[in-house]
Structure 1
């Protein structure tokens, strides 16, 4: 009886956390289907009339699609660089017998402790002096830099569980280091690659702090910056269009997470047990 009560209590607790997490997302989609008049009267009531006018207005405006393209471009370039650099560096640290590898690993892991906020002013001055403000490169560089410490750590932890005999067999078969990495080792890291990709694709897509600091021109805005366009004169907000734009902008990360959730879970637990 006591065990059953504990089980039900734990289930209710998990359900409570789930409702807290999912309620804002559901509410945004419901609000995006309500006429602006209803939102101004009672934003939290169920819609009396469903309408897609808010989505039509946002899509016809065309700005949100351009902002989403900028976010997609920055996210894709950043992910490619993060995966390439962290996978190769992690392999070198884990499998190359070099004297300074532990110190190099400590250098990368130290980056996890560096707050993003303290780098904004130095980066802004550097970008301003080099003339790369309002460019995709200004967004890609810090995204890659701050993602590398954790990504390198995840790859190193995975590579440490790959037996050295596998590499030795490749060497005996005449494989070069590049071929061993590209054809033998890297394909085994599929779960780690998917975990890093899904995690940082969502973080980069939702980034606001770098975009707000380094981007000011409308043509270079990302989707998080573009949502501010729906705040008009004197702080007036077109809430219907705003919620529709938010609903459109959160669809890509939601689709990525739920489609890759199985591999993300496996990648997070990879290396926890051996064998």
Structure 2
């Protein structure tokens, strides 16, 4: 009897030890895979950094991942001071911020009206915004250019802001929908009983409650606006309103191309988005998870 019990205990201990070893091996394998994927994701950034510190001869004569023989940090000074990248950087910042703020505010207003207020046509309006997600951007370039040309907005930053807000509204509303549906109505009912108006209730109560999902939509909008190229290249012709995405063309000449300067420009354009994503990546996941649950 005692020997049988001892045997079962030893067998259970052996199985537990085997499971622990298997678990450790699984975690180790998972970490190796994740490290390999992270290295693969970082490869373009490392290559671009080395690329930006080379001159034309080193770009074509040295291996892609080789360190430059003499790092040309002056490439960054050249693009910032001579290539007007400082102006393009400032334009990218303020246009991105303005378009993002307007999109988040208007998207929140539309989502609140559709999900929290009862009125005829709310489903139809929501359907229009969702259908707009299926419209290809390139198919709207000529109509938009014609409209902006007639109203005098070509070569004006307002054409970019209006385009960014219009094309980002559907995805912004889609992210906000689930979160707004899940908001407890008791909070709004208590505010109405206390005499709170609809406008005040939205800006003082509902809007702050959605801060996590608003951070997600703001970051997604910011990344799109910062990296956008086709609208800037189509609507803007003067250097005064160009952004970083088209500013790189300044270093492409008819006969020669300054590849090191192009790499430095691309590196400068990537850093703000990269830093923002590193600090706010948790908010993106949190907001998407919060907006994906209804009820």
TM over 0.5: yes
How far is the alpha carbon of 1:105 from its aligned partner?
A: 1.3
Alpha-carbon distance in structure 2 between the residues aligned to 1:249 and 1:120: 24
Kindly report which structure 2 residues correspond to 1:216-227, keeping only aligned pairs within 5 A, or say none: 216-227=237-248
Q: Per-residue deviation at 1:2?
A: 6.5
CA distance in 2, matches of 1:274, 1:84: 22
The equivalent residue for 1:192 is 213
Q: Which runs of 5+ in 1 are unaligned?
A: none
TM-score (norm 2): 0.86
Which of 250, 271, 278 is equivalent to 1:258? 278
Residue 42 (1) aligns with residue 62 (2):
yes
**Per-residue Cα deviation, 1:9-28 (whole angstroms, up to 9, x for no partner):** 54444334323322111211
Deviation at 1:73, TM superposition (A): 2.1
How many residues align structurally?
Answer: 274
Q: 1:132: how far off? A: 1.3
Select which of 144, 148, 155 maps to 1:134. Answer: 155
Aligned residue number for residue 123 of structure 1? 144
User: Would you say 1:21 and 2:38 are equivalent positions?
Assistant: no
Q: 1:272 to 1:141 in 2, by over 3 A?
A: closer
Is the CA contact (8 Å cut-off) linking 2:110 and 2:173 kept in structure 1?
Answer: yes
User: Whole-Å Cα distance in 2 between the matches of residues 273 and 112 of structure 1?
Assistant: 21
Taking the aligned partners of 2:138 and 2:165, their CA distance within structure 1 comes to: 16
Q: For each residue in 1:223-268, what CA deviation from the matched residue of structure 2 results, as whole angstroms up to 9, or x when unmatched?
A: 111101111122x211111111111121111121112111111001
SS at match of 1:113: coil
Matched, 1:148 2:148: no
Cα deviations across residues 68-104 of structure 1 (Å, max 9, x unaligned)?
1111221112112101100111111110011321222
Judge which range, 106-115 or 48-57, deviates more. 48-57
C-alpha separation between the residues in 1 aligned to 2:165 and 2:27? 43
Indicate the RMSD between aligned Cα atoms, in angstroms. 2.0
Deviation at 1:220, TM superposition (A): 2.0
The structure-2 alpha-carbon separation of the partners of 1:170 and 1:212, relative to structure 1 and needing over 3 Å to count, comes to same
Distance 2:265 2:104 in 1: 30
Kindly state the Cα deviation for residue 116 of structure 1 after the two structures are TM-superposed.
0.8
1:68 aligned to which of 72, 85, 89: 89
Match of 1:111 in 2: 132
The structure that has the greater radius of gyration is 2
Q: TM-score, normalised by structure 1?
A: 0.92
Task: Work out the CA distance in 2 between the residues paired with 1:216 and 1:43.
Answer: 37
Separation in structure 1 between the aligned mates of residue 33 and residue 51 of structure 2, nearest angstrom: 27
User: Aligned pair in 2 of structure 1 residues 24, 162: CA closer, same or farther (>3 Å)?
Assistant: same
What is the alpha-carbon distance in structure 2 between the residues aligned to residue 58 and residue 70 of structure 1? 15
Residues 261 and 247 from structure 1, CA distance in 2 versus in 1: closer, same or farther, beyond 3 angstroms?
A: same
1:88 is aligned to 109
CA contact (8 A) 1:31 1:43 kept: no
Inter-partner Cα distance in structure 2 for 1:122 and 1:206: 22
In structure 2, what is the equivalent of residue 214 of structure 1?
A: 235
